[in-house]
Amino acid sequence: MADTTGELDIRAQHWEKVVTGFALQSYVLKDLCSIRKSSAWTESYYVETAADLTAGAGMNVSGVPRLANYPYGEVSWTLTSSRLIKHGMEGVVSWEDANTNNVDVIARTLLRIARAVAKSVDASIMTAIDAATTNTVTITAAYEWDSATVANRDPIQDILNAISELQIDNYDPYTNGYLLVSPKDYANLLGNSNVRNAGQFWSDGVTKNGRVGKICGLTIVVSNSTTTDKAYVIIAKESMTWQSAAPLTVKSIEDAGIKTTIRAFEVGVVQVVNPLAICVIDNTQK
């Protein structure tokens, strides 16, 4: 049956587009993940042991004698499982507020619901990054990016050190590489005179989904979900996968003449499948 102006189907579709549009602009960390469809509540994957292979007791990789047996090495993997997480929120708008309020209650509700779901998804990804990352560049106390001694601040070298950690593990940070920082650390980074005066290291860029420029060949991403006093060099798509059982979904439920419920939800889980494709710069030694 054809819908006329003001009927629920038309308004619901409009609201869904609005919520989805807001949320897609709010996602920051999810954009760094490859996306895969999930059909199981529990998703499993293997993480390869990071340590280099060594010979057994009493044997060495170097200096194998003539006719002697070779030392044995075996690659190992750890089976890891993670359960999908439902992220969701709903808002209820009375008929009176929707039709007579001086504030555009519907628009504000749409915006805040979308932002809440996106922020929850990104926060869960940040938690997983912190738990899985093993590559670390630790900044010595008094040499932090906001050190009281200005001359001690050297974020460019710290970033280059993190890049080298990934290269040592045979990853290419210059292909889809990102520098993830909090707003506080972004201010410390851009406020550094070495960064401001070194055109070969810094350039501005597209300001979308937290992307604000490039430094040392990495795209800078700023997110409130990022742990303060830490920065992360991440190879996007290769390091993390978002297993999605349900993409961002929006429903409107109308109780005619009384209220409208606007509900948004997303179901999925992040898997840090290549933790060595991430290096954290730890700026917390205060």
Location of each CATH 3.30.2320.10 domain in the chain? 135-240+275-282
Task: Please determine, for residue 282, whether its predicted confidence score (pLDDT) is greater than 50.
Answer: yes
Out of 11-20, 39-48, 275-284, the most confident range is: 275-284
Is pLDDT larger for residue 26 or for residue 148? Answer: 148
- Its sign, for the CA torsion 246, 21, 272, 184, is negative
Q: What is the structure's pLDDT at 1?
A: 45
* Gap between the Cα atoms of 196 and 22, Å rounded: 32
The backbone region for 217, taken as left when phi is positive above 0, alpha when psi lies in -120 to 50, beta otherwise, is left
pTM of the model: 0.77
Q: What is the structure's pLDDT at 155?
A: 93
CATH 1.10.1660.10 fits 8-50+80-130+242-269, yes or no: no
Q: DSSP letter string over 97-127?
A: HHHH-SS-HHHHHHHHHHHHHHHHHHHHHHH
CATH 3.30.2320.10 fits 135-240+275-282, yes or no: yes
Q: 251 CB contacts (<8 Å, ≥6 apart)?
A: 12, 16, 262, 263, 264
Location of each CATH 3.30.2400.20 domain in the chain? 8-50+80-130+242-269
Instruction: Summarize pLDDT for 221-267 with one digit per residue, the tens.
Output: 998 889 999 999 999 999 999 999 998 888 888 898 999 898 889 99
Beta-strand ranges (E) seen in 139-197 are 177-181
* Gap between the Cα atoms of 205 and 138, Å rounded: 28
State phi, psi for 113 to the nearest 5 degrees. Answer: -65, -45
Q: Which two tokens stand for residue 23?
A: 């949320």
